[in-house]
């Protein structure tokens, strides 16, 4: 699945002259945690809520003078932004972007096309995408099965679903579940569910969970 289907298009951006206090206000108003920094349309950095929190003194910190507090709020975003941030492209896969976020421990990626910032995708968007792809919330029953580690076992389950005219809402296969078995999860909807489940058992598949 491509991230262009899940990213926020035309994201709110700031320029390098934007003050930290302005950036903080935008983040609070828009209720997000990441602001791409651009020159024209070209991405040059990103500022996060964490960056702002580190830069701006707490109102409870009595050791910071009023003058220093004013100076901090007027500091430019360019002083605390992450330059040349890790980015994604609209045609990248959700899996690739999720791995990048995990590897570099970041919560969002600006999405660029021809160096222009055309979107942003966050970890929340990734979670939402994988949740929808798993079929959660759709009609039907979620069935988890342990099957032999070969192609014929997978195709046998698919054939049983076809035999009972089941509507397949989602399919996920964990190949490295164990040395001899793989874990297959399907979400199916249709009549004769009990008969289909009994046929799955008879096929040699071990059903570990059945739920909505």
Place of tokens 């579940």: 177
The reported pLDDT for the residue numbered 67 is 64
110-153 residue pLDDT tens? 999 998 999 999 999 999 888 887 777 778 899 999 999 988 99
The reported pLDDT for the residue numbered 150 is 87
167-181 residue pLDDT tens? 998 898 888 888 889
The reported pLDDT for the residue numbered 60 is 39
The model's pTM is 0.72
**Structural domain spans, the chain:** 3-131, 137-211
The reported pLDDT for the residue numbered 61 is 47
Q: Please choose, from the candidates 198, 193, 199, 195, the residue with its C-alpha nearest in 3D space to the C-alpha of residue 211.
A: 193
Report yes or no: 112 and 3 within 8 Å, Cβ to Cβ: no
* Residues of the chain falling short of pLDDT 70: 57-72
Report yes or no: 112 and 43 within 8 Å, Cβ to Cβ: yes
Q: Please choose, from the candidates 104, 154, 138, the residue with its C-alpha nearest in 3D space to the C-alpha of residue 96.
A: 104
Report yes or no: 155 and 204 within 8 Å, Cβ to Cβ: no
21: CB partners within 8 A, 6+ apart:
56, 73, 74
Q: Which CATH number fits domain 137-211: 3.40.50.740, 3.30.930.10, 3.30.70.260, 3.40.50.720?
A: 3.30.70.260
The reported pLDDT for the residue numbered 52 is 86
CA dist 196 and 87 (Å) reads: 45
What's domain 3-131's architecture?
A: Roll (3.10)
């Amino acid at each position: 699945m491509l991230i262009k289907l899940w990213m926020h298009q035309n994201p709110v951006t700031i320029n390098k002259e934007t003050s930290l206090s302005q950036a903080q206000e935008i983040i609070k108003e828009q209720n997000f945690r990441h602001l791409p920094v651009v020159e024209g349309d070209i991405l040059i950095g990103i500022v996060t809520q964490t960056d702002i929190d580190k830069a701006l003194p707490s109102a409870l910190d009595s050791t910071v003078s009023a003058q220093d507090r004013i100076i901090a709020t007027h500091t430019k975003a360019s002083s605390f932004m992450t330059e040349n941030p890790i980015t994604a492209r609209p045609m990248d896969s959700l899996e690739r972007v999720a791995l990048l976020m995990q590897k570099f421990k970041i919560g969002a990626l600006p999405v660029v096309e021809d160096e222009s910032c055309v979107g942003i995708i966050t970890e929340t968007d990734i979670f939402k995408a994988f949740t929808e792809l798993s079929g959660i919330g759709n009609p039907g029953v979620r069935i988890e099965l342990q099957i032999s580690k070969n192609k014929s076992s997978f195709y046998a389950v698919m054939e049983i679903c076809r035999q009972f005219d089941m509507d397949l809402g989602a399919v996920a296969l964990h190949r490295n579940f164990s040395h001899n078995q793989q874990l297959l999860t399907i979400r199916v909807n249709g009549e004769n569910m009990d008969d289909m489940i009994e046929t799955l058992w008879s096929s040699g598949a071990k059903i570990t969970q059945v739920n909505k």
